[in-house]
Amino acid sequence: MPMNKSQLVRVCWLGRTPYREAWDIQAELVSDLRDGRASDTLLLLEHPHVFTMGKAAKSDHVLWDEGERAQRDVDVIWSDRGGEATYHGPGQLVGYPVLDLAQFGLTIPQYLEKLERSLIDYLHDLGIDSQPGEPGLTGVWSGGEKVAAIGIKLNRSIVSHGFALNLTTDLDYFDGIVPCGHVDKRPTSVESITREKVETAVAARAYAEHFSDVFGVVLEWGSAQKVLPTLAR
């Protein structure tokens, strides 16, 4: 099925949401979408401090010991997404599109390309030149540094997890891991590049327009209670 502007995607801003809670929400949405009880959904949010470990991560990718992590109030969670170790925290826009790619007529490479493009277009609005990673390097990069990480999960034709865009992120937290398995590759942020602060909730609204344009969909904003009616929130 080709994409067209009649394709509707629900979107909501969840604010600061713990990683495990967001993970559970995605699992619920994937199940409901697969069974025809839910629509395609874009979740936008930010997480408290957490290191998440994808399927390709190794325990030695966490560099801080338990004491250091406790002092910095950062948890470690092993996730079912693809990829290796990454950091989530305040000042970072996280996007979790839960979409049935069969309904969009997209392959995984095509989906990833569009997700990258939506981020690149948003960053362009902020005056930042960015591009997809070179072969073997996922995410979106600017000046040789990663500004957005991408890690997804596929359940039949339904995709979940997504991206994390560094806005005003405390980049020191990346010192606690080997980010995405590349010890020599450093992260950056919108604030580091432009010296300007962008609030996460403001970025969510602005980014969503680029998601709509790139994926060719109509967005329907709603509260968490409306978008996620089966969840007790």
Set 45, 180, 190, 227: catalytic member: 180
Q: Are strands 41-46 and 92-100 parallel, antiparallel or unpaired?
A: antiparallel
Alpha helices in 82-145 (DSSP H): 101-104, 108-125
Chain Cα centroid distance, residue 22: 11
- Residue 133 near residue 178, CB atoms below 8 Å: no
Distance CA 150, CA 172 (A): 20
Say whether 180 is catalytic.
Answer: yes
Q: Is 197 left (phi over 0), alpha (psi -120 to 50) or beta?
A: beta
Active-site residue set:
180
